[in-house]
Amino acid sequence: MAAQTTAEGGQLVDHRDGREVVLKLRGVRTQFGDHVVHDKLDFDVFRGEVVGLVGGSGSGKSVLLRTILRLNPLRAGKIELLGIDTRAVYGRTERELLSHIGVQFQDGALFSSLSVADNIILPIREHAGLDEGLMQSIAALKVALVGLPPDTGDKKPSELSGGMRKRASLARALALDPAMLFLDEPTAGLDPIGASHYDELIGQLRQSLGLTVLMVTHDLDSLHAVCDRIAVLLDKRVVVGTMEEMLAYDHPWVREYFHGPRGRAALKQA
């Protein structure tokens, strides 16, 4: 297994501790025209951990996430997801891989014309093909799993508050009992109390379901509350470490982000 590079005491070190890698990026390059967003980027996510992906404006957080999910083209390098090289995934293998991951996009991406239950059922119908009654039962279970009232399944997304829509979209991401969950700015737009409750939910789901989570975020409180490690996009590559390691990492953007006013406030609350 390839080594994981992390930040420690301002230096880069390798860890080889036998943990299973469920997401492996090697030599990844993303670009649009002549603009290179990432280059020679290496990154591992280990089974059962929550990793927060952060970076400055224009560093390509969502670009990297969408590239991992094969929504953006990979210009160079290799991405392995759940042990599968995503460059050569087609047909049945692609469907099988997609059935083991869950995605919550920043805007929720719920179909406005469908009820919450029908939104949850969509991936189940596509990948599992169960009978209607069983799919309805699974949808109700997922609604309860994310802490929503039982009648939420009958409502349209427009009838829900912003926080409830976030949870509804999370319920859909969990529809197929994924091994890995991808979250894009999950607490964006939530008030501090709602964001804190959402962080608690992610932590609970990780424990109860054994999830591995990669979370794009700018929320320092979330990084403190639920993330085991933090991946920082710097100079087209990524540096990974624990919160303690990042607080000690010597880079101008990292110092400003983690030691600026918002960083100090989040640290006091941690």
b/e 215-242 (16+ beta carbons within 10 angstroms → b): bbbbbbbbbbbbbebbbbbbebebbbbe
b/e 10-24 (16+ beta carbons within 10 angstroms → b): eeeeeeeeeeeebbb
- From residue 11, give the alpha-carbon distance in Å to each of 8, 89, 157: 5, 36, 47
The pair of three-digit structure tokens given for residue 126, joined into one six-digit string: 């596509």
Residue reference for tokens 């290179």? 36
The pair of three-digit structure tokens given for residue 158, joined into one six-digit string: 């427009």
Consecutive H or E run containing 53: strand 50-55
- From residue 71, give the alpha-carbon distance in Å to each of 68, 74, 100, 181: 8, 9, 17, 16
The pair of three-digit structure tokens given for residue 90, joined into one six-digit string: 């087609």
Provide the whole-model pTM: 0.88
Domains contained in the chain, CATH given: 46-75+92-100+178-270 (3.40.50.300), 112-173 (no CATH)
Consecutive H or E run containing 182: strand 180-184
Flag residues of the chain having pLDDT under 50: 1-16
DSSP 228: S
Q: Where are the beta strands (DSSP E) in 3-34?
A: 4-8, 11-15, 21-32
Taking the CB of residue 71, how many other CB atoms lie within 10 A of it?
A: 12
